Amino acid sequence: MIAPPGAGKGTHSSVIAAHFGIPHIATGDLLRDHVARGTALGRAVKQHLDRGGLVPDGIVLNMIEEEFATARAAGGGYVLDGMPRNMTQARALYDIARRLGMTANVALHLQADDEELVRRLLARAALEHRADDTEEVIEHRLALYHEVTAPIVDWYAERGILLSVDAMRPIEHVGREVLTALEVLRRLVDHVPDSARRPIDLTGLGAAFGRRVEPRSPR
């Protein structure tokens, strides 16, 4: 899953996982669970967080490798939500997945305009009483996302596994389009060699699955 903040990545990841009966590997939820249970990994994570630092990629990648192995034992499918956030992580995840025979068949890219994302995130911040999510902070997060994510999107496109969807519509319409596309791809993926795969852009098909939400004009 590749999506900017506010595009609905967590929601759509959960729906896809439930629809196909596969694990939803959400890195943030997994890290919080390890901390809450006091596992060895959780204690290592807590040490970094208590010092005000970021959790090193190595810790998160080891956790994901364990989840991949569990998913493989259960049948092989998964939805990865929360990584990669940069090219270093993307390549490291690819190496792990190749070693386990678990490379991704689809990199789902949810596209949305920054103006609409800011509106959604400000509305969520007000609903959840998150005073730290100001418009300035949200715009900085979006700028950082675009800076580090563009190379990832290009890389997945080069590999022929990128599926781009317009997320500027009601979530149920986006979800219906995503599941329809994934059902079609599921029937094809085992019959199309890697060298013949091409990126798929469905962002122009919004009318078929629901009206697009236009960004609001500034007052």
For residue 211, what pLDDT band results from cuts at 50, 70 and 90? low
Could you report the per-residue pLDDT of 101-125, keeping only the tens digit for each? 999 999 999 999 999 999 999 999 9
**168 neighbors 116 (Cβ within 8 angstroms):** yes
Which of these, 198, 193, 188, lies nearest to 159 by C-alpha position?
198
**84 neighbors 145 (Cβ within 8 angstroms):** no
Q: Residue 194's pLDDT is what?
A: 82
Q: Residue 218's pLDDT is what?
A: 47
**3-state class (DSSP) for residue 200:** strand
Integer Cα distance of 35 and 32 in angstroms: 5
**209 neighbors 169 (Cβ within 8 angstroms):** yes
**142 neighbors 4 (Cβ within 8 angstroms):** yes
Residues in the chain: 219
Mean pLDDT value of segment 118-133: 88
Which of these, 109, 43, 98, lies nearest to 65 by C-alpha position?
98
Q: Which residue did the predictor score with more confidence, 133 or 86?
A: 86
Integer Cα distance of 26 and 12 in angstroms: 12
Domain annotation for the chain: domains and CATH numbers? 9-205 (3.40.50.300)
pLDDT reading at 205 higher than 70:
no
Q: Residue 197's pLDDT is what?
A: 87
Which of these, 60, 110, 106, lies nearest to 83 by C-alpha position?
60
Q: Residue 107's pLDDT is what?
A: 97
Q: Residue 156's pLDDT is what?
A: 96
**182 neighbors 145 (Cβ within 8 angstroms):** no
pLDDT reading at 57 higher than 70:
yes
